[in-house]
Amino acid sequence: MDLFTLKGKLAEILAAHKIANDEYMDSVASASADPKLRPDLKNKRDDLWDRAQEIRVEINRLEDEAKERLAIQVAEQAVASGQSDEDKLIKAKAAFFRAIARGQEPSREVMNALQAIPTGDTGGESFLPTQLATSLVSEPFSTNPLRDIIRLSNVVGLELPRIAYTLADDDFVADESTAKELVAAGDKVSFGRFKSKVFCDISDSVLNGSDVGLVSHVENALRSGLAAKEKKVSFSSALAADQEHMSFYEDDSGGSVIEEVPGATLFAAIKAAIADLHEDFRENAKVVMTYGDYVEMLTDISDGNAAFFTAPPEQIIGKPTIFCDLATTPVVGDYNYCGLNYEGTPTYESDKNIKTGDTTFALTAWFDQQRLLNSAFRLAVVETSA
């Protein structure tokens, strides 16, 4: 039943409900009314009211759908009429996703817009066009706050020097722990290649909806998945043996790989960890911790002073602070000495679930995260009483 008809029916039901309510109230207020009729009159009135509410719910649903359809039409018209490079790119991405989902080969025009050459292979595993790969891998995304403070690259066989510079007339490093680390681990860091898969389900309504809606949904889902994986490995204590180096909580037989700095309170531990860094690292140091720990720390040190809760974290701790719920032990350090590298071009696969009608995109990417110097970081730990 369409929206216009439903609104007419609602008006009829509400008119009938008013009459039924008047009849019921007359039976209540009249001393001579037959009491046996009252339950039937009440049930009739209540039934009409319940039916009116159900119709209202359906009307609200249909109105919401109409608003969504209007928004899609407006977006489609805007994209169709737009001639900017961004509009053309969105249209090309949407055409690419739709073609792959339907098992078709994207047109040459689409592949040219995405800086790729048609391969004729739309089944199984294929390489993402350059434009899509670049936007998925290289653009910072908010769900992994570390992306804004660490090195991010997309280089095959990446090697980086552990320290940025040396002096021609000086053969030593000022920081003793850094010097020892260079002797033990060498002066270069080689990034590896570790597989990560991300899945994104899209419904037919999204696939056949606006270009903007389709591209936004797929790109955000795949980007979010990659960022969630990055964040997880950064603060995990249970990674596979060959991936443990990606975590700031990496452990070896002697304990934490990154030096732990204790303090009587979390605030004291963080301040001590900052002070314990060599000045070369301390100047650019940042703190990554959970927001819950930060609020608890403020409660401990504020002594009821509300000004602590309105001050920026940098004023309280003395260094820029980034919040991440997985950073259960605060990590203090110069994050310029941590790098995340995606190697090569991600690949994609797609398949359709006949039962649900959803299309699944699977993105496979290879990345590695390395700390160039462990001595550039400290873990702030609260001392436990014996």
Kindly report the CATH number assigned to the domain that includes residue 169: 3.90.1690
Whether 92 is covered by a domain: the verdict is: no
Q: What is the pLDDT of residue 4?
A: 79
Q: What is the pLDDT of residue 121?
A: 45
pLDDT of residue 169 exceeding 50 = no
Residues of the chain with pLDDT > 90: what percent?
Answer: 35
Whether 56 is covered by a domain: the verdict is: yes
Residue 200, φ and ψ in degrees, nearest 5: -140, 120
Q: What is the pLDDT of residue 273?
A: 97
pLDDT of residue 180 exceeding 80 = no
Q: Which secondary structure element, helix H or strand E, spans residue 160, and what is its range?
A: strand 159-161
Cα–Cα nearest to 20, from 52, 53, 43: 43
- Cα separation, 17 vs 327, in Å, equals 59
Q: Is the whole model's pTM more than 0.75, yes or no?
A: no
- Cα separation, 109 vs 91, in Å, equals 11
Whether 228 is covered by a domain: the verdict is: yes
Q: What is the 3-state secondary structure (H, E, C) of 107-169?
A: CHHHHHHCCCCCCCCCCCCEECCHHHHHHHHHCCCCCCHHHHCCEEECCCCCEEECCCCCECC
Q: What is the pLDDT of residue 115?
A: 65
Whether 350 is covered by a domain: the verdict is: yes
Q: Tell me the average pLDDT of the chain.
A: 81
| 289 in the same domain as 174 | yes
Domain count, the chain: 2
Whether 110 is covered by a domain: the verdict is: no
Which one of 80, 97, 114 terminates a domain?
80
Query: Higher-confidence residue: 134 or 88?
Result: 88
- Pick the range with the lowest mean pLDDT from 77-91, 275-289, 358-372: 77-91
| 341 in the same domain as 238 | yes
Q: Which amino acid appears at position 31 of this protein?
A: A
Ramachandran bin of 2, using left for φ above 0, alpha for ψ from -120 to 50, beta for the remaining angles: beta
The residues pairing with 127 across neighbouring beta strands, listed in sequence order, are: 347
Name the DSSP class of 124: S
Give residue 214's pLDDT band: very low, low, confident or very high (50, 70, 90): confident
Q: Is 292 in a helix, a strand, or coil?
A: helix
Q: What is the pLDDT of residue 120?
A: 45
- Pick the range with the lowest mean pLDDT from 33-42, 88-97, 153-162: 88-97
